[in-house]
Structure 1
Amino acid sequence: MTESAAGAVDLATRIELEDFYYREAELLDERRWEEWLELFAPELEYTAPIRVNRKSPAPDIIDGLGHFDDTLSSLTLRAKRLRTDVAWCEDPPSHTRRLITNLRVRPAEDAGRLSVRTNFMLYRSRGDMGAYDLIVGERQDTLRREGDRWLIAKRRIIIDQSSLGTKNLGVFL
């Protein structure tokens, strides 16, 4: 992996990361949560802070308060729960399609890690009434290499909406 003057990674690494993120979206859309969980490092931090509407120059992201603040252990419990008959928010399961775009990569502050930002759009429909949810935002990841694969060590999800229109957040972003 070489670094260009602009701070980006080489083309082969970029293509490898695009494939990584497309596979992640596929695993989630196909409800293959156990395989999805294998993409995360044991020390995972997985957060989605709240966005608020404030006058400038006040920050619009509240990191101390979030939609969720997970570790690998809590994500694993959430995924296992979705396989039970008490996950009412996802019974029947949602039909989802995740679109991942605008991949931006640069070396992270910690050696051997990458800082990756992607934009996402989650389309989610439930039932047969024609209603659907759109959730849009940015994922800010720190990836680390383990052997021949990448692991997500940290994910911060910034949802563009300050008020979510969805009735629940029973799906993974």
Structure 2
Amino acid sequence: MDSTLPRVTADTALYAEVLDWIHFEAELLDDLRERDWLESMVSRDVTYTVPLRQTVERARGRGFAPDTYHLLETYGSLSSRVTRNETQYAWAEDPPSRIRHFVTNVRVHRTDGPDVLAVRSNLLLHRTRQDQSVPQLLSAERHDQLRREDGRLMLLRRDVLLDLTVIRTHNLAIFF
């Protein structure tokens, strides 16, 4: 996100609307209401990525591969994942993970695009599976674009920048 874009401050109704959107999204995903999330909060034009992170020297930047992804999704592929989770064949998530999304440090900026906001936030995803006694923790920075469609905010783009270079989890059948 370009920090030179006009900032939306926390004392505005627009910031409150974005924050409410983020909290409701976390609630839907934590409650495994993935279909409701997809149909009510995700744009049909969405791009959803989790790029591969590498350990590199400081001069080479933050270490995200420009063309290699753990996840590179569209509305169609997200919809397929949600549909699969609704069947009896979602073995990777049966029984489903228990997940909590902790979203903090929300920063909102206006963009040059009509009705598009750039939202940057930090995410801590707490996940347990089956009878695990040690949770899996995934931390990341999210770079989102929200676009107003038919009067409501919709997720147009999400880039999840994981802090980990090695993901020690059984699968990535979860939504960030």
Matches of 1:133 and 1:159, distance apart in 2? 13
Shift, 1:111, TM fit? 2.8
Which residues of structure 1 form unaligned runs of 5+?
Answer: 1-5
Question: Could you tell me the TM-score, scaled by structure 2's length?
Answer: 0.91
Q: How does 1:21-36 map to 2 (within 5 A)?
A: 21-36=22-37
Shift, 1:118, TM fit? 1.0
How many percent of aligned residue pairs carry the same amino acid? 35
Aligned counterpart, 1:153: 156
Aligned counterpart, 2:81: 78
Question: Could you tell me the TM-score, scaled by structure 1's length?
Answer: 0.93
Deviations 1:53-105 (CA, angstroms, capped at 9, x unpaired) = 01121130012001110001110000110111221111111111110111101
1:53 aligned to which of 44, 52, 55: 55
Aligned pair in 2 of structure 1 residues 46, 129: CA closer, same or farther (>3 Å)? closer
Root mean square deviation of aligned Cα: 1.5
- Equivalent position amino acid for 1:142 in 2: Q
Q: How does 1:1-173 map to 2 (within 5 A)?
A: 7-9=6-8, 11-37=12-38, 38-59=40-61, 60-173=63-176
Which residues of structure 2 form unaligned runs of 5+?
Answer: none
Deviations 1:112-142 (CA, angstroms, capped at 9, x unpaired) = 2111111111100011131320001011011
How many residues are paired up?
A: 169
Shift, 1:148, TM fit? 2.4
The runs of at least 4 consecutive aligned structure 1 residues that moved more than 6 Å come to none
